[in-house]
Amino acid sequence: MAVIDSPAIPRKPAQVNRQARTAWGLAGPALALMFLILLVPVLVAGVLSFSNYSLGNSGFDWVGVQNYERLFTRSTYEKMFIATFTYVVTAVPISVGLGLGAALLVHSLGRIGDIYKTVYFLPVMATLLAMAIAWEFMLHPTIGMVNRTLEMACGTWFEVIPFLANGCADGFPLWLGDRDYAIWVVCFIGIWQGFGFNMVLYLAGLTSVHRELYHAAEMDGAKSAWERFRLVTWPALGPTTVFVVTISCIRAFQVFDTIEAFWPQGGGPNKSAYVMMFAIFEKGIQQNLIGIGSAITMLFLLFVMFLTLIQRWLVERKVHY
């Protein structure tokens, strides 16, 4: 606070104290709120993750690192990690790539681009829970639109595709009921729902690319679109990409709505879509095992913190020139 004043003017200690008090007074409400609604719950969760507390119990016992030990030993949680990382590793690159591709295509169009922008952004605006229910109907094994469309290909030359040939012979996949497909369906819906958001972020990034740089690239002999992309567009989109990837990762770790809508009782066939958020919900809320729920939450927080730190590092070191 005192920095604003000229340092040349000597001030009395009383004045300095008064300024400091004002400063604390003004920052106080924000600090208090941050403590109350962010830091205290995190601390409480951290403490509870070392206990066997359940809501409604009058007391609890300290169990040490038992909750964490379970996380890394039990097969349920192994499935949880597999499902979560499968989702993150699939949904993030594809939704970022599609977002970038769509943004480049939309950017190259004139007015028609606005139509595509709206079309791709619609799923972002829709409620994911409602969309999940719609997808559930579409993916129904017998009356769903997806399988009935696939059946139309039976008996045509499309059957050269092994997937369709097998489907026509032995029946098409159960999708949501098949443990080999369940997590991929969730990935697909996550990508379908999320890439429009990335596209909008990339479109914003594209408007800041200096047009004269493309002319310079052309004069320097960059003839193909790929060369111009490598030389001008991609480096200019660096800060956007870091932001988009971080946001997409955090969103991917948070996936919950679709799982809850498809399989309210337990995270997919054979727990193949048992993602972290759903595990927190199931353990902490449905089964009232606050201790283990808190432990998963702390791990979740760790991943998100880690991602944020990487983003900070990249933004400061690599992508700002």
Report the interface residues with another protein, using CB under 8 A.
210, 212-213, 215-223, 227, 231-232, 235-236, 238, 321
Q: What angle do CA 110, 115, 117 make, to 5 degrees?
A: 90
Q: Which is closer to another protein, CB of 168 or CB of 222?
A: 222
- For the CB of residue 71, give the shortest distance to another protein in the complex, in Å: 38
- For the CB of residue 236, give the shortest distance to another protein in the complex, in Å: 8
Please name the amino acid found at residue 321: Y
Q: Which is closer to another protein, CB of 85 or CB of 214?
A: 214
Q: Which is closer to another protein, CB of 11 or CB of 215?
A: 215
Q: Are 96 and 196 in contact (CB under 8 A)?
A: no
Spatial CB neighbours of 22, under 8 Å, sequence gap ≥ 6: 1
Q: Which is closer to another protein, CB of 124 or CB of 236?
A: 236
- For the CB of residue 237, give the shortest distance to another protein in the complex, in Å: 11
Q: b/e string for 288-318 if b means 16 or more Cβ within 10 A? A: ebbbbbbbbbbbbeebeeebeeebeebeeee
- For the CB of residue 227, give the shortest distance to another protein in the complex, in Å: 7
Among the listed residues 275, 279, 281, 232, the one whose alpha carbon sits nearest the alpha carbon of residue 255? 275
Q: Which is closer to another protein, CB of 11 or CB of 210?
A: 210
DSSP letter string over 240-253? HHHHHHHHHHHHHH
- For the CB of residue 108, give the shortest distance to another protein in the complex, in Å: 17
